[in-house]
Amino acid sequence: MNESAAPSNPPRTVAVVCTQRIGDVLLATALVRSIKRQWPDAEIDMIVYRGTEGVLEHNPDLRNVVTVARRASWRERLASAARLWRRYDIACATLASSRCRFYAWAAGRWRVGLFDPDRPKRATRFLLHRLAPDEHRRVHTVTSYLALAPVLGVAPVGEVVAPGIGDDPTRRAAFDARLAAGRGTPPRPLVVVHPYPMFAYKQWHAQGWLQLIDWLRAQGFVVALSGGPASAELEYARRIAESAREPVMNFVGQLSLGETAEMIRRAVLFVGPDTGVTHIAAACGTPTVALFGPSNPCRWGPWPRDWPAGNEPWPLRGSGRRGNVFLLQGEGDCVPCKAEGCERHLASESRCLTELDAKRVIDAAKVMLGLPTASAAGDTQPLVRLPVERG
pLDDT value of position 354: 93
Mean pLDDT over all residues of the chain?
Answer: 92
Q: What digits encode the pLDDT tens for the residues 337-366?
A: 999 889 888 989 889 999 999 999 999 999
Q: Within 13 Å, how many C-alpha atoms sit on residue 104's CB side?
A: 30
Of the chain, the percentage scoring pLDDT greater than 70 comes to 92
Band of residue 2 on the pLDDT scale cut at 50, 70, 90: very low
Band of residue 204 on the pLDDT scale cut at 50, 70, 90: very high
Contact 317, 387 (CB under 8 A): no
Domain 170-369: CATH superfamily is Glycogen Phosphorylase B; (3.40.50.2000)
Written out in words, the top-level CATH class of the domain with range 13-152 is alpha beta
pLDDT value of position 379: 40
374 dihedral zone (left: phi>0; alpha: psi -120 to 50; beta): beta
Of the chain, the percentage scoring pLDDT greater than 90 comes to 82
DSSP state of 12: S
3-state secondary structure (DSSP) of residue 139: coil
Q: Which of 244-248, 325-329, 371-375, 381-385 has the highest mean pLDDT?
A: 325-329
The arrangement of strands across the sheet holding 320-322 comes to: 249-250, 222-225, 190-193, 269-273, 288-292, 325-329, 320-322
| Predicted TM-score (pTM) of this structure | 0.92
187 dihedral zone (left: phi>0; alpha: psi -120 to 50; beta): beta
Range(s) for CATH 3.40.50.2000 in the chain?
Answer: 13-152, 170-369
Q: Cα separation of 98 and 106, whole Å? A: 12
Q: What is the mean pLDDT of residues 83-106?
A: 96
Q: Which position has the higher pLDDT, 389 or 385? A: 389
Q: Within 13 Å, how many C-alpha atoms sit on residue 189's CB side?
A: 12
Which residues are registered as beta bridge partners of 131? 113
pLDDT at 1 exceeding the cut of 70: no
pLDDT value of position 123: 61
Q: What digits encode the pLDDT tens for the residues 123-178?
A: 666 799 999 999 988 999 999 999 999 999 999 999 999 999 999 999 999 999 99
